[in-house]
Each structure stands twice: as structure tokens, then as C-alpha cells.
Amino acid sequence: MIRRRDHYKLAGRNTFRMDVGCACWIEYDSPEDLSELDLAALPQPVVHVGAGSNLLFTGDFPGTLLHSNIKYYKPVADAEEEVLVEVGAGVVFDDFCAWASDNELWGAENLSGIPGEVGAAAVQNIGAYGAEVKDIIAQVKCFDLEERRIVTFAPAQCAYGYRDSAFKHAPLKGRQVVLGVLFRLSKALRPRLDYGPLKTAFAQAAPAHPVEVRQLILQIRASKLPDPALIGSAGSFFKNPVVSQETYDHVVAVACAAVAEASPEGRLQARAGREERCDDREAPAGKRSVGRNPLGVQGDGKEGATLVAPHFDLPGGQVKIPAAWLIEQCGLKGARLGEAAVYDKQPLVIVNATGTARPADILALEKTVIDAVRDKFGIEFHPEVEHIGPDPETPKKI
Ligand code: EPU
């Protein structure tokens, strides 16, 4: 069935809770519904959305928003060690995580609690706590809006990267609509405990059931991230920047200079250095080597101690720096601008502080953060959150 609503209010359809609207909202229940739609006859542009958990509406949307209500779990293969299950694009992703864990299937538990739906998860390659959804994707089934037929994509064709996939770029963007995702889950015990707090929590006794990992992840998320039921946000607002070794060294030098300026002790301590040690960051690939504290001071604090900026060495000599740390170094942790704020427990998240923030409030704070990080460290931030609004060119990244 197709449900069409004109002049539709979107406050309940975006986790930032922006009080905006769209000219037309269409929800469909099946691939057949989608194939029947005459897209050209709808208000333009036509854009597909999920749960709105990674979107910032910058104003009223003049076109049509499509939303999938395709919900199913279809077991496709059941072998000794693994199962393949196809899940409809409209299923709430965390419902799938709960289902997998409850059925003692490993693979989705680290991704517990991420807001959003299965289709968008496959487009965005969501990730957290040492795992990315691409790790368990065996195939993505789409409806090709141009050829009007169902097509499937093997993982390699999806070109997955950090919060990225081929579905976010031409020629697939706007053309392929995800109908369902085939997940490969493990019946065999396969916990992924690279993320520091998981490793620590299970140091004495390894988890025997994915529900144990899921529960811990949900606890960690609750302690760091705003509760979507209480505070509007879209999770991480920016991507963690990947920079050259040279830029990283510059970041360390700037941070050291700031410490030296702040206190006489700092002057003694401010010897830039890099030290490799394990940390609690997400580990998409490569070797983790990050300081635990903001500019963690190694040694006893006397002369000779070194300062370590959190970082993560990537293959090819590049370095990923936690955006949260850079924002904190700019003094913006907890900063408030209008009705928007940088979340005080995790500065990578921008929140609708009062519940009544307008798009302009969020955009102003976004600009403030981008400008501050550029001015201080010479690093250009890129939003992870997709901007969607009145500009006919939307959705686009700025
Ligand atoms: N940090 C600070 N100050 C803070 C918080 C963090 O300096 O107040 C630094 C610390 O060095 C910390 C590091 O930032 O070790 C990393 O923090 P965290 O583990 O919270 O992860 P993140 O890199 O900030 C990423 C994802 C999150 C995901 C977490 C956990 C991105 C853009 N974000 O955040 O994903 O939950 O890892 O794995 O990659 C999301 O995408 O919406 C999201 C929340």
C-alpha cells in the first residue's frame, strides 16, 4: 500500500526534531508499491529517507520524501556455523540487532542502539565500538528507479568505506533504493572486543552470549550519547578527520603550545611526542594508537614527559584524529549557541538543547565548530550528518 500525505510535518520524522515540513510524504510497503509510483508526477525533487536519524533539515523541503515500510526477516541459509538472513529496509536497525542477539547470532551486537533503519544503515555503513555494518553485509537488494527492476549488489560493488558507500555517490545515489539487506551472522562464538572498554569489561570472562555484549554497548551509549527520546540530535555530527602525518604533527605542536601557554608546568611538559598505546576508540581498520586523555601527559609530569594527541594510524601513513578531541581543544565542549549546543559528554554531537532549536541554530553552531577547528588546527571538518532542505540541489554535503 502507498500512503501519501501532502504538506506533511516532519518533527516526528527527524531525530533533531526540526519543526519543518515537506511538500509531499510517501510511505510504501512493498517493492511493487515502489515500482508503481510515477515519480515524475510528484513534487520535485524526490529523495528517499530512512528514520531521519542522520539528517539535518535546513528548512522546509519543497519536494517528495519517500520512506520504506518494507519490514520482513527472511532466513536464506542456515549452515553449521553461520546463517544468512534477509531483512527489509524499513526494519528498525536496533530491532534487527536485538533479534540477532536474542537468537544467539553474532555480528550485530556491537552496533546495538544505533538509531535508524536497515536500508539507511547499508547506505551509510554505520559503525560503532569496533564494528561496521559492512562486516556483516552479504548483499544489498535494491530497486533501480531508472531501469525499474530489482538489482543486487555484492559487498565489493557497494564500495564501503568509513561512513561511506557507492550508494552515497553518482551513479547509484538517487537511483538505487534499498529494499532489503542480506546479513551474514555467526552461530559460532565470535565476539569483537577491540574497543577498549569492551576488552576491559570482558577481561576476566569472555562473553558467552551476544546479549552480554549488546547490554554493555547499550550502557556505554547511554553514558556518552544523548537519549534520542529526550534530546534531539543526529548522533555524531562530524566525521573523524583523516589527515597527513605532517598535519598531525602540526596538531600536536599547536596543542603543546596551548598547554605551555596555560601553565608553567605545561611549559615543562610540552614536548610533543607520539606514543602508541591502546585506547577506547572505534577501530575501523589498521592499528590503534591513541592517547586516552585530551593531550594525555605521559610520564611523571616532570621535564621529559611528552604530550600525546589521540590518534589512530591508518594504512598508508595517514592519521585519524578524534573530532571530539579537536572540538574539546577548541574549548567548545558544552558550548551553547542559540538553542543548539555541543553535547557536554561527547562533543562530536550537536544537540537541540531546548527542543525548540531552528535549523539556523544548528547551522550556526556547525559553522562555529568548523571555523574554530580550521582556525586552530588547519583541519577542515566534514559533517557526517546529511543536510536536506529548500535548496533544490539537496541533499548534499557541505
Ligand atoms: N574524546 C574527547 N573528548 C570527549 C569525548 C571523546 O577528547 O569528550 C576523544 C577521546 O580521545 C576518545 C575519542 O574522542 O577516545 C573517541 O571517542 P568515542 O569512542 O566516543 O568515539 P568517536 O570517534 O567520537 C565514533 C563514532 C560514533 C560511535 C563511536 C564509538 C564517528 C563519526 N562516530 O565516535 O558513532 O558511536 O565512535 O565507536 O565515527 C555516529 O556515527 O552517530 C556515532 C555516534
129 in ligand 1 pocket by Cβ < 6 Å? yes
Nearest to 128 by CA among 103, 101, 109, 147: 109
- The pTM for the full model equals 0.90
109 in ligand 1 pocket by Cβ < 6 Å? no
Specify whether the CB–CB gap between 85 and 102 falls below 8 A.
Answer: no
The enclosing H or E element of 131 equals: strand 131-132
| Residue boundaries of the structural domains of the chain | 2-68, 75-228, 245-313, 321-382
Architecture of domain 2-68: 2-Layer Sandwich (3.30)
Instruction: Report the C-alpha dihedral over residues 220, 224, 225, 229, rounded to 10 degrees.
Output: 70
What are the angstrom distances between the C-alpha of 173 and each of 87, 207, 315, 395? 21, 39, 28, 10
Catalytic annotation present for 236: yes
Catalytic annotation present for 35: no
Specify whether the CB–CB gap between 128 and 110 falls below 8 A.
Answer: yes
The span from the CA of 233 to the CA of 182, in Å, is 29
What does the pLDDT profile of the chain (398 residues) look like in tens digits? 999 999 999 999 999 999 999 999 999 999 999 999 999 999 999 999 999 999 999 999 999 999 999 999 999 999 999 999 999 999 999 999 999 999 999 999 999 999 999 999 999 999 999 999 999 999 999 999 999 999 999 999 999 999 999 999 999 999 999 999 999 999 999 999 999 899 999 999 999 999 999 999 999 999 999 998 899 999 999 999 999 999 999 999 999 888 878 766 655 554 444 433 324 344 333 333 433 334 444 443 334 345 668 998 998 999 999 999 999 999 999 999 999 999 999 999 999 999 999 999 999 999 999 999 999 999 999 999 999 999 755 544 33
Work out which ligand 1 atom sits closest to the CA atom of 322: 14
Give the residue, by CA position, lying nearest to ligand 1 atom 9. Answer: 325
Specify whether the CB–CB gap between 115 and 174 falls below 8 A.
Answer: no
Most informative mutation of 224, 238, 281 for ligand 1 (most atoms within 8 A of CB): 281
Most informative mutation of 109, 218, 348, 384 for ligand 1 (most atoms within 8 A of CB): 348
Catalytic residue, candidates 328, 339, 384, 386: 384
CATH tag, 75-228? 3.30.465.10
Nearest to 344 by CA among 369, 322, 324: 324
239 in ligand 1 pocket by Cβ < 6 Å? yes
Domain 321-382 adopts which CATH fold?
Answer: 3.90.78
The span from the CA of 235 to the CA of 223, in Å, is 13
